[in-house]
Amino acid sequence: MARPNKKKSSRGRGRRPQSTQNQAERSSQNSQVAAAKEAPVKRKFAGKIRLYGDVENDGVVQISFTLPMPACDEARVAALQFAEKMNIQKASVLHMEAIDDDFSFFVVYGQCEAEVDLEQIEVPKLDHPQYGFHEINDMLGQKLDRKLVVLGACIGTDAHTVGIDAIFNMKGYLGDYGLERYSCFEAINLRAQVDVKDLADKIIEKQADVVLVSRVVTQRDSHIEEFKKLLAELSSRENVPAKLIKICGGPRMTHKEAIDIGYDAGFGPGTLPGQVASYIATEALQRFADQQD
């Protein structure tokens, strides 16, 4: 069966990562990790699209949810009405099952006529070049006469260290060296449960060049709150290095959200330390290199 196949090649297909690190390859379960390995390619998408199920523009969508009522004919109709109110046409209840006497579970399929105009989409992105490990060390080594002081912490009561460790640890993450391994950085990882006041103290004491903060507990947007708290703390203090580069990250973070709340950059799931190091190198050269004599 022949299907119109025109725009396919231009959209949504990342090149396969040509990773040499077999660990990174193994983890291709994480498409984000795989995609993140490549340098950002500036792509412009054109035209309007709909959801794709079987054929172009069919708008097929699958949803599942729970209703606080027993599984019965009325529940089935309620489920269909919900779908309709969500703008899903030709909805059908594929599956209804009692969770218990008071709750029922649904799988619903339908078609959604909504269209999205790709031309209207603007995503702020970090567009620095991706450098290699040695490149960064050489570059910063030549242009700066000192190591950059880089502090990291997972803040508030959050006890998750794995994310910030992935960025810092000497041995690296998915085959990519962490910041501690770079000779151009003095990397200090305070790990988790770090109060923002203590972090601010440390930033001032060390006259840090870069601060990296992590938040993995995100319930009720507590990550955003905590990230803001650090900024507020820093602005209430004296002797905070004026050119401090502020970076935040975590599984629910995007670069856009980070800049919206006043950080210089934000990193999300699947980030590799090399990407962060490249950003730091680019930004540091802009901010600090001119000062050097």
Which positions are catalytic? 171
Query: How does DSSP assign 168-228, residue by residue?
Result: H-TT-BTTB--GGG-TTEEEEE--SSB-HHHHHHHHHHHT-SEEEEE----GGGHHHHHHH
DSSP 12-37: S-PPPP----HHHHHGGG-HHHHHHT
Which tokens sit at 127? 């567009």
Q: Between the CA atoms of 126, 29, 222 and 259, what dihedral angle is there, to the nearest 10 degrees? A: 10
Instruction: Look at residues 189, 252, 185, 258 and name the one whose alpha carbon lies nearest to residue 222.
Output: 252
User: Which of another protein, ligand B12, none lies near 212, with the C-beta cut-off 5 to 8 A by kind?
Assistant: ligand B12
Task: Determine if 269 is a binding residue for another protein (CB under 8 A).
Answer: yes
Question: Residue 63 CB, nearest distance to another protein (Å)?
Answer: 12
Instruction: Show the binding pattern over residues 79-98: x = contacts another protein (CB under 8 A), - = does not.
Output: ------------------x-
How far apart CA 35 and CA 21 sit, in angstroms, is 14
Q: Of residues 129-168, which lie at the interface with ligand B12 (CB under 6 A)? A: 157-164, 166-167
List 193, 202, 229, 259, residue binding another protein (CB under 8 A): 193
Applying CB under 8 A, which part among 140-148, 195-203, 217-225, 275-283 lies near another protein? 217-225
Chain positions contacting another protein, by CB under 8 A: 26-30, 32, 64-66, 97, 99-103, 105, 157-159, 161-162, 165, 192-193, 217, 219-220, 222, 251, 269
Chain positions contacting ligand B12, by CB under 6 A: 157-164, 166-167, 173, 212-214, 216-219, 247-251, 267-271, 276
